[in-house]
Amino acid sequence: MMTVYLLLAGICAAWLAGWLIFFRLPTIPTRKETAASKDLTERGELSIIIPARNEAENLPQLLASLQQQTLHPVEILVVDDGSEDETIACAKGFGATVLQTTADSAGKAAACWLGASQAVGKYLLFLDADTFFLAEDGLERLFAAYEERSGQGLLSVQPYHQTKRLYEQLSAVFNVVLPVGLNRFSIVGEKLSAGGAFGPCILCSKTAYLQANGHQDMPQGILDDLALARRFKKKRLPIALYGGKDLVAFRMYPAGVRQLVQGWTKDFATASQSTHPLIMAGVILWISGGIGVLAAPFLMEPLWLGLLFYAAYFGQTLCFARRVGNFNRILLLFFPCYFLFFLGLFGWSWIQTHLLKSVTWKGRKINL
């Protein structure tokens, strides 16, 4: 009986920890066109920088969504990072300016730095090639939110994850833990220092970027988004983090399970090192509860009590997952499997990061 009581207490604590560490995920609100954004368009001061390696399939959706924006950038720079497909031709077909990294200066960070160095705009927006805007006023809303924070520092948005194939559902827990791990979405909000930034969508002024040394001389194996945030914090520049629901989205790892495994294992264990110890403790407790609750219906009497605990954890997991992506509600009924997959992949990421000290991504072996 004591085992049942301990399980009951543990699940309750884990469920409560979940709400405490992922209390909210603010999004950038819909707003009417502002004078500031109009002025920005007229002055032509926004440069968009898109680092790209083998992104011919993803670029058209992003570039098409940029063409539909109410706020028009002065330039769109696609920085090709040694692509082996039609990335360059695709970018030129949409009228983007193409830059190319060199063999001795390759990687996403180098591509971002090259683009920023060549950009003519006063403001820089870095976008991953697999992102795309969901709203025609997306750029306008981004800039308005940046201006509301005095136009200083760095504003970063985690795109809403749009899934299509069955295996993509396995990213649910990763997409929840990722924002939680940046320390800003717990019940204490911005009282904790940001652990990093969301790499797919980053907006800042060029002045602040250069002041923080931007992506300059970042090693290829480093997490550029976390490193960039650290550089901004070192210069005491503020960091604002948002969720991208109804604003900007992406489809992660559409090429199959192998790409999904490589994508999540390449940096997840390293990223966890930027998480505040209290948040990390909450994450560990929440994941443990998500697995442990599987035993509740079998150990608790009456049966309905165990099912009630399972239902409560399902409701919470569903709430969290739908904040970050369009994950299938019915499949989430099997959420303990998602937690187990996360745990296994996190372990493999730790082995690659700390023992093998190398990962593979987009045909490149990256030494850590």
Instruction: Tell me what pLDDT residue 230 has.
Output: 94
Structure tokens belonging to residue 65: 């969504």
Same domain, 264 and 279: no
Determine the distance from the C-alpha atom of residue 46 to the mean position of all C-alpha atoms in its chain, rounded to a whole number: 22
Q: What is the CATH number of the domain that holds 201?
A: 3.90.550.10
Cβ-based neighbour number of residue 92 at 10 Å: 13
In a domain, 362, yes or no: no
Q: Which amino acid is at 76?
A: I
In a domain, 361, yes or no: no
Instruction: Tell me what pLDDT residue 305 has.
Output: 81
- Given 231, 250, 268, the domain boundary residue is 268
Same domain, 241 and 351: no
Same domain, 185 and 75: yes
CB 208 within 8 Å of CB 152: yes
What is d(CA 345, CA 266) in angstroms, rounded to the nearest whole number? 10
Instruction: Tell me what pLDDT residue 368 has.
Output: 61
Same domain, 70 and 182: yes
- Stated pTM of the model: 0.90
In a domain, 30, yes or no: no
Same domain, 76 and 143: yes
In a domain, 146, yes or no: yes
Instruction: Tell me what pLDDT residue 34 has.
Output: 47
CB 223 within 8 Å of CB 192: no
How many alpha carbons lie under 13 Å from residue 43 in its C-beta half-sphere? 13
How does pLDDT run along the chain (368 residues), one tens digit per residue? 677 778 788 899 999 999 999 999 999 988 654 445 555 554 458 999 999 999 999 999 999 999 999 999 999 999 999 899 999 999 999 999 999 998 777 789 999 999 999 999 999 999 999 999 999 999 999 999 998 887 889 999 999 999 999 999 999 999 999 999 999 999 999 999 999 999 999 999 999 999 999 999 887 666 889 999 999 999 999 999 999 999 999 999 988 999 999 888 877 766 778 899 999 999 999 999 999 998 877 777 788 888 898 999 999 999 999 999 999 999 999 999 999 999 999 988 888 877 777 777 666 666 66
Same domain, 125 and 224: yes
In a domain, 364, yes or no: no
> At CB < 8 A and 24+ separation, what contacts does 114-119 make?
114/79, 115/47, 115/49, 115/50, 115/51, 115/77, 115/79, 116/49, 116/206, 116/209, 116/210, 116/214, 116/215, 118/77, 119/47, 119/49, 119/75, 119/77, 119/206
- Given 209, 235, 268, the domain boundary residue is 268
In a domain, 368, yes or no: no
* Residue 120 structural domain: 35-268
Instruction: Tell me what pLDDT residue 151 has.
Output: 81
Same domain, 248 and 346: no
Same domain, 113 and 235: yes
Number of domains in the chain: 2
Same domain, 136 and 220: yes
Same domain, 13 and 39: no
In a domain, 366, yes or no: no
CB 81 within 8 Å of CB 54: no
Same domain, 322 and 258: no
In a domain, 360, yes or no: no
Same domain, 247 and 318: no
Q: Is 127 helix (H, G, I), strand (E, B) or coil?
A: strand
- Given 236, 268, 300, the domain boundary residue is 268
